[in-house]
A and B are shown apart, each in its own frame.
Chain A
Amino acid sequence: MIELKGLHKSYITGNNKLHVLKGLDLTIEQGELVSVMGSSGSGKSTLLNVLGILDSYDEGYYKLNNTLMSNLSEKKAAQYRNHMLGFVFQSFNLISFKNAVENVALPLYYQGVNRKKRNKIALEYLDRMGLKDWAEHMPNEMSGGQKQRVAIARAMISKPKVILADEPTGALDSQTSLEVMDLFREINSTGITIIIVTHEKDISEKTDRIIHIKDGIIGSEIISTRKISETIGSYRNQ
């Protein structure tokens, strides 16, 4: 689903050049649930932005669903984001003057789905998040966990191939964080590839594969203990 080869990315601010990603190789198959870890400033968000076609890269290549992502026009990039990708952010990034349904429905607006239809679909997704009763509420009337579930519903509504989440539990308490992770696992089980950037070990333990970024490349890749026990469990059952 995702294929990165020798990816380089630098930020240039004034006369300074900050080399963040230094020849990164990474392959993620369809349906994987992956977490990205690494110290602050190691380039996790940078990587996620490249994957989300929100930012360009300097060298190497990035293939999404076997299509090379380079030199895209803004319009083309917007279309890929709209159809292939879903985003979940640490600070939710809901639109403050829109209620929950309208927020969830917004990606469909940019697909040209009419208002009635997209609001109906949005309501279904909110229902799946257990937020049906909150549909008409504005973001500032909701808790962090609820807001993040609205954001997740919004990321899912366009049936993307990949969901990219940058510290989705960063602003949530541990109980809510675990609930959100369960939600991600559930979504992942429908075949959607999910990549989660996180600082927290217990969050990453909920994923199947943990990627560590160090010095601008993949430092180590671990199959999570959870995945191992799951695999062992399935062997036992055979």
Chain B
Amino acid sequence: MFDLDKWQEIFSTIRKNKLRTFLTGFSVAWGIFMLIILLGSGRGLENGVTKQFEQDATNSIWIYRGQTSMPYKGLKPGRRILFTNEDYENSKREIKNIDNLSSRLSIFQQRILSYKNEYGNFDIIGVHPGTKSLENVKIIEGRFLNDIDINTNRKAVAISTDVKKTLFKDKPFLGEYININKIPFIVIGLFEDSSERDNQRVYIPVSTAQKIFTGGTEIQNIAFTTGDATVKESMELENEIRSSFAVRHKFDKDDQRALFINNNVEQYTKFLNLFAGIRMFVWIIGIGTIIAGIVGVSNIMLIVVKERTKEIGIRKAIGATPRSIIGLVLLESILITGFAGYVGLVLGVGLLELISPHIQSDFFTNPEADFRIAVSATILLIFSGALAGFVPARKAARIKPIEALRDE
């Protein structure tokens, strides 16, 4: 296999038929190139969307208020549904298998926060401790809000890394007081959110927010995570919630506009399935292209074998076994396929690397062909090279020396 002589034989035939070898190799290179581009793009889409999901817990369900669109027991449509602490308490009591329940009250959008002489515009949001998991935030220092903060209406605040950068620079911040609407809040922790937008926030206890800023029991939305609920379970949960809210707020439970439920479990699974589908589709197309390449290589090798009939006859007459002849043809085929495929692989990966910085968007990041794809492609190449060489090699092994050597 690693005999220099054998490789020299192969190289000498390849060198003698440059154009033909090139054309053959080209079809294989093209096939691999397309496969890599397609797989890479699929991966880019997947990365993008996955990143979108990673900004929040992938197993979360979010409940938003809406406006009724159907009449219900004498009530006219067009009524606004308002959530209060009662909805939070009821949900906590009624819904089984939930964790990280949190209500949310957005106090101010882009309101000025200040620390000594530093100022910045940020979102101020009242929440329950469950938001830490719901928003999938990473605690960098200190802690997130806890139940005691809620129960005691504590004026405590968790700030994002962006807020910290603006107000504190590199100064210590834990235990310092920042002013929210001129009211001092103690900084209890620092967090980071992978979403650009969500990192422009501070979180305060929802109870404090109601007491100090809104003066009521209103909240804007409720969210919770569902543990490891399946899609089916999460959808049943969704129905339960809808019924329970419909009774409490007096709207038709088929009224889709009265209440919006955003079920991440369901959507995430849908996307996962979609990507599995895309990936399979890409492989089918890619493999189709590669098969066309294999047929091309196989055809060329058949012609090569025919042209080399006499040479193979000579070799057999002086003692070449059928096996050594098969090796000769098979190796040449694997070499052409392997080399061409490798070129396609490198070009494909190169192109992805080249364009990837220019096409970053929310739903498309890092189109890449990872190591696993490269390995699969390599195995595929060697396999297809062997496949392409198989028929011609067998034909070569069957050449009879007397027929090959007869002088025409």
Is B52's CB within 8 Å of the partner chain A?
Answer: no
Count chain A CB atoms within 10 A of each CB in B13, B311, B318 and give the residue with the most. Answer: B318
Hey, which chain A residues are within 8 Å of B400, CB to CB?
A: 54-55
- Interface of B: prevailing SS: helix
Hey, which chain A residues are within 8 Å of B314, CB to CB?
A: 93-95
Are the CB atoms of B319 and A107 closer together than 8 Å?
yes
Known: A49-B402, A54-B401, A90-B407. A74 touches B322 (CB 8 A): yes
Are the CB atoms of B315 and A106 closer together than 8 Å?
yes
Are the CB atoms of B317 and A81 closer together than 8 Å?
yes
Q: List 13 A-B contacts (CB under 8 A).
A: A54-B402, A75-B321, A75-B323, A78-B319, A78-B322, A79-B319, A79-B321, A110-B315, A110-B318, A110-B320, A110-B324, A115-B4, A115-B5
Q: Which of B317, B318, B322, B407 contacts A91 (CB 8 A)?
A: B407
The 3 closest A-B pairs by CB, nearest first: A82-B319, A110-B319, A78-B321
Are the CB atoms of A78 and B320 closer together than 8 Å?
yes
Are the CB atoms of A89 and B405 closer together than 8 Å?
yes
1-54 of chain B: CB within 8 A of chain A: 3-5, 12-13, 16
Is B128's CB within 8 Å of the partner chain A?
Answer: no
Is A83's CB within 8 Å of the partner chain B?
Answer: yes
Interface 1/0 per residue, B314-358 and A, CB below 8 Å: 111111111110000000000000000000000000000000000
Hey, which chain A residues are within 8 Å of B319, CB to CB?
A: 78-79, 81-83, 107, 110-111, 158
Are the CB atoms of B405 and A93 closer together than 8 Å?
yes
Hey, which chain A residues are within 8 Å of B321, CB to CB?
A: 74-75, 78-79, 110
Is B310's CB within 8 Å of the partner chain A?
Answer: yes
Report A169 CB to chain B, min CB distance, Å. Answer: 14
Hey, which chain A residues are within 8 Å of B316, CB to CB?
A: 78, 81
Hey, which chain A residues are within 8 Å of B401, CB to CB?
A: 54
Is A209's CB within 8 Å of the partner chain B?
Answer: no
Known: A89-B405, A97-B12, A97-B13. A52 touches B322 (CB 8 A): no
Hey, which chain B residues are within 8 Å of A74, CB to CB?
A: 321-322
Interface 1/0 per residue, A60-98 and B, CB below 8 Å: 000000000000001100110111000101110111111
Is A147's CB within 8 Å of the partner chain B?
Answer: no
Are the CB atoms of A55 and B402 closer together than 8 Å?
yes
Hey, which chain A residues are within 8 Å of B311, CB to CB?
A: 95-96
Output the nearest chain B residue to A97 by Cβ-Cβ distance.
Answer: B12
Tell me the A residues contacting B by CB distance below 8 Å: 49, 52, 54-55, 74-75, 78-79, 81-83, 87, 89-91, 93-98, 106-107, 109-111, 115, 154, 158
Tell me the B residues contacting A by CB distance below 8 Å: 3-5, 12-13, 16, 310-311, 313-324, 400-402, 405, 407
Hey, which chain B residues are within 8 Å of A107, CB to CB?
A: 318-319
A158 to B319, CA, bound (A): 10
A111 to B405, CA, bound (A): 22
Are the CB atoms of B318 and A106 closer together than 8 Å?
yes
Hey, which chain A residues are within 8 Å of B5, CB to CB?
A: 109, 115
Are the CB atoms of A93 and B324 closer together than 8 Å?
no
A55 to B405, CA, bound (A): 12
Report B312 CB to chain A, min CB distance, Å. Answer: 10
Hey, which chain B residues are within 8 Å of A98, CB to CB?
A: 12
Output the nearest chain A residue to B311 by Cβ-Cβ distance.
Answer: A95
Are the CB atoms of B16 and A87 closer together than 8 Å?
no
A235 to B407, CA, bound (A): 44
Are the CB atoms of A97 and B16 closer together than 8 Å?
yes
Output the nearest chain A residue to B408 by Cβ-Cβ distance.
Answer: A91
Q: Which of A54, A96, A109 contacts B317 (CB 8 A)?
A: A54
Report B389 CB to chain A, min CB distance, Å. Answer: 19
A154 to B314, CA, bound (A): 11
Output the nearest chain B residue to A96 by Cβ-Cβ distance.
Answer: B311
Hey, which chain B residues are within 8 Å of A115, CB to CB?
A: 3-5
A107 to B316, CA, bound (A): 10
Output the nearest chain A residue to B4 by Cβ-Cβ distance.
Answer: A115
Are the CB atoms of B318 and A87 closer together than 8 Å?
yes
A154 to B313, CA, bound (A): 15
A107 to B314, CA, bound (A): 10
Hey, which chain A residues are within 8 Å of B318, CB to CB?
A: 81-82, 87, 106-107, 110, 154, 158
Report A14 CB to chain B, min CB distance, Å. Answer: 16
Hey, which chain A residues are within 8 Å of B407, CB to CB?
A: 90-91
A109 to B318, CA, bound (A): 10
Output the nearest chain B residue to A86 by Cβ-Cβ distance.
Answer: B318
Output the nearest chain B residue to A50 by Cβ-Cβ distance.
Answer: B402
Hey, which chain B residues are within 8 Å of A89, CB to CB?
A: 405
A23 to B27, CA, bound (A): 56
Report B229 CB to chain A, min CB distance, Å. Answer: 65
A78 to B324, CA, bound (A): 11
Output the nearest chain A residue to B12 by Cβ-Cβ distance.
Answer: A97
Report A202 CB to chain B, min CB distance, Å. Answer: 22
| 13 additional A-B residue pairs with CB within 8 Å, beyond A49-B402, A54-B401, A94-B314 | A54-B317, A74-B321, A78-B319, A78-B320, A78-B321, A83-B319, A93-B405, A97-B13, A98-B12, A106-B315, A106-B318, A110-B324, A111-B319
Hey, which chain B residues are within 8 Å of A52, CB to CB?
A: 317
Hey, which chain A residues are within 8 Å of B322, CB to CB?
A: 74-75, 78
Hey, which chain B residues are within 8 Å of A90, CB to CB?
A: 407
Output the nearest chain B residue to A82 by Cβ-Cβ distance.
Answer: B319
A95 to B407, CA, bound (A): 15
A83 to B321, CA, bound (A): 13
A236 to B284, CA, bound (A): 89
Hey, which chain B residues are within 8 Å of A81, CB to CB?
A: 316-319
A82 to B321, CA, bound (A): 10
Hey, which chain B residues are within 8 Å of A96, CB to CB?
A: 311
Report A162 CB to chain B, min CB distance, Å. Answer: 14
